[in-house]
Structure 1
Amino acid sequence: AAARVRHVEEKVRGSLPPRLGFEVYPFKVGWYNGHLKPSFHLPYPADTLGLVVFSTPRMFTNAFKPFIKSQRFQNIRDPIDECVAYYFSLARENFPDEKVDIMYDYDLLPNRRPKVLVQTAAHVAGAAYYYQRTDVKKDPWGEKKIYGVCIHPRYGGWFAIRGVLIFPDVEAAALEQRAPIDCVETDEKRIELLERFNFHWRDWSYRDVVEVEESYSEEQRLYFATPPGERLKLLRFEEDEP
């Protein structure tokens, strides 16, 4: 069973490799469900294999722009989502005889609940620490609603959790859980992070709460700061780009 889990991981990473700006982390559905109320549980046995997928700063240049160029800019409603869906579909094609359930970060159930809480998946997979108000000892917010946010030890907040792939027929009983790296260690820093994320998210300062190895390029920042309808015309392509 452990060999099969490794085999699945390697195949998925073959379609979603780091050089294109993706990172893939395995988790067990039971770990995820153990963090949530039953109404949010994923409907699979506890040992079912899941993989959570991130995009890192380099995805924009190495996967997204080539995808847009290959589509000739045609009928693209949400360019980033369609790019991610394209690469996820490549990963799924590696498993013609296997059931693979894909859930994106934006997928909703009929009752408008998210199909999957990707930040919880990232946390239980040991990929990025999900900081919530329960991680703060001296909670200063009273009645205010405070949303949590994942911080990556290398990218800070300069990454996105794009979705999960669930393999209903792959049992991952032997998978060992790793704790995510707690890189925002003090109460003061955690309060600052959650304040910035909840009340000043437009200035993106929360993303730099820790020292980062890599962040979004100027072109990428401008793209995401621009209203969606105006974004594609911003992209610059070198003539000799493949």
Structure 2
Amino acid sequence: METHVELQEILGPSGFEVYPLQVGWYNAVLDPVFHLSYPEDTLAFVVLSKPSMFECAFKPFLCEQKLQSLRDPIDQCVAYHMSLAKERCPSKKIDVIYDYELHPNRRPKVLMQTAAHVSGAAYYYQRRDVPQDPWGDKKIFGVCIHPRYGGWFAIRAVLVFSEVRAPTLEQLLPIDCIPSREDRIQLLEDFNFRWRDGKYRDVLPVEQRYSAEQILYFATPPAERFKLLEMWGTLPLSPPC
């Protein structure tokens, strides 16, 4: 698909991956309250950040752009690259929905893990994927696992090409890379009960992991990340990179 290739050429060198879907695939697996209000065959793309995004996009962004102090730096970087994608596709109307965006009632505008699953980008493992689960009344949250990056990635945005229809787009199923019941239990327990240690991210052998610097950055409370960047000397007001 031409649009897919074009987007990947724009975003790929900066550490992003894009996966196409029809809006209808997403709507079909969710209650109406979560539906996206576009025709069912509207073309959309899920945008993931790979481990390399930190070095290929985030650090250069810090050196070249002036940060807004009240916005998360990673969110600003992602928004910058999505704006570049829109500029490179001027003939197409693109609605960008970010992972952190909420409706006024605090409901997410897009359930990103569901979007990733139906696009084939990553498998969304949930409690219902474990027959006769052992958790009783406990609340168990699901987690997406990528076949090449395990848990070392993030779902950043959905791009909706609101005027483009893709009725013949073939849906690709996500790769079920954690097929055994026991491993799924371990994954969901690691994610729900021990997520801070990041063990769930290494549920399978991976091609890339976050660097030590990137792990430290994301482990730092958001309110303290600007201080960390200042210490590293990567903010625009610091000496040039």
Residue in 2 that maps onto 1:143: 137
d(CA) in 1 for partners of 2:156 and 2:14? Answer: 14
Q: Deviations over 1:143-188 (max 9, x none)?
A: 1111100000110000000010001111111110111010011001
- Give the unaligned 5+ runs of structure 2: 235-239
Q: Provide the TM-score with structure 1 as the length reference.
A: 0.92
Select the residue among 14, 20, 34 that pairs with 2:9: 14
**1:104 counterpart = 2:93:** no
**1:114 counterpart = 2:108:** yes
Contact kept? 1:100, 1:166, Cα under 8 Å: yes
d(CA) in 1 for partners of 2:86 and 2:3? Answer: 10
Q: Deviations over 1:27-73 (max 9, x none)?
A: 01111111111111111111110100000000001100100111255
d(CA) in 2 for partners of 1:156 and 1:219? Answer: 19
Show the 5 A alignment for 1:1-242: 6-17=1-12, 19-73=13-67, 75=69, 77-235=71-229, 236=232
Contact kept? 2:14, 2:56, Cα under 8 Å: yes
Q: Deviations over 1:69-124 (max 9, x none)?
A: 11255636210000000000111112323221110011111221100011111101
Task: In structure 2, give the amino acid aligned to 1:163.
Answer: A
Task: In structure 1, give the amino acid aligned to 2:16.
Answer: F
Contact kept? 2:122, 2:146, Cα under 8 Å: yes
* Identical-residue share of aligned pairs (%): 63
d(CA) in 2 for partners of 1:226 and 1:169? Answer: 40
d(CA) in 1 for partners of 2:5 and 2:85? Answer: 10
Taking only aligned residues, the RMSD between alpha carbons, in angstroms, comes to 1.9
- Give the unaligned 5+ runs of structure 1: 1-5
Counterpart secondary structure, 2:160: strand
Q: Deviations over 1:184-205 (max 9, x none)?
A: 1100110111111111111111
d(CA) in 1 for partners of 2:77 and 2:127? Answer: 33
d(CA) in 2 for partners of 1:237 and 1:72? Answer: 14
Task: In structure 2, give the amino acid aligned to 1:92.
Answer: K
Counterpart secondary structure, 1:16: helix
Task: In structure 2, give the amino acid aligned to 1:13.
Answer: Q
Task: In structure 2, give the amino acid aligned to 1:63.
Answer: A
Counterpart secondary structure, 1:30: helix
Structure 1 stretches of 4+ with a deviation exceeding 4 A read none
Aligned residue pairs, count: 236
Residue in 2 that maps onto 1:3: none
d(CA) in 1 for partners of 2:28 and 2:67? Answer: 43
